[in-house]
Structures are given as structure tokens and as C-alpha cells.
């Protein structure tokens, strides 16, 4: 439970149990209900690495495209 709390605290955004964290030009997404399920995408939404199945990837990418505005830099 402490690991999940640590991940959630460091996340830039959490949507329906998925933690989204920006690192350089990549977005790392982790399923907080199953820490073995992860996805790394480019800022444009291109899948770079994953341990998720195709259905979960589609769900997470839909979350990303509808909520990515909440992770945009305020200074930009």
C-alpha cells in the first residue's frame, strides 16, 4: 500500500486508477490496481513500451486524449 501511495503522490494526474507521470518527453502510466500493468507513451500518444493488453491500452489512451490538458505546463 505504501508503494501505491508513493506512486500516486508523484503522479501528475490520476484518472480512474491510472497514474500519469511526465518524464522528459514521455508519459509513464501505471495501473494502481495492478502495478504489473504499465504503459509508456510519447506526448503525442504513440505507444513506446507496454505490459498492458490492447483493450487496456485503448482505454488508457482515451483517458490521455480527453484529459491531457490537465498535465500541460502552466508556463507554456
Taking the CA of residue 21 as centre, how many other CA atoms within 13 Å lie in the half-sphere pointing to its CB?
Answer: 16
Question: In this predicted structure, what is the pLDDT of residue 72?
Answer: 74
Residue 70 pLDDT level (bands cut at 50, 70, 90): confident
What is the structure's pLDDT at 34? 96
> What is the dotted CATH code of the domain comprising 2-71?
2.40.10
pLDDT of residue 75: 43
Is the per-residue pLDDT at 7 higher than 90?
yes
pLDDT of 31-60, one tens digit each? 999 999 999 999 889 999 999 999 999 999
Q: What is the pLDDT of residue 76?
A: 42
Query: Which of 43, 41, 16, 46 shows the shortest CA–CA distance to 29?
Result: 41
Q: Where are the domains of the chain?
A: 2-71
Amino acid at each position: 500500500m505504501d508503494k501505491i501511495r508513493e506512486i500516486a503522490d508523484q503522479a501528475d494526474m490520476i484518472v480512474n486508477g491510472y497514474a500519469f507521470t511526465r518524464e522528459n518527453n514521455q508519459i509513464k502510466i501505471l495501473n494502481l490496481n495492478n502495478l504489473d500493468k504499465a504503459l509508456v507513451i510519447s506526448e503525442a500518444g504513440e505507444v513506446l513500451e507496454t505490459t498492458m493488453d490492447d483493450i487496456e491500452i485503448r482505454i488508457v489512451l482515451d483517458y490521455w486524449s480527453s484529459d491531457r490538458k490537465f498535465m500541460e505546463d502552466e508556463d507554456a
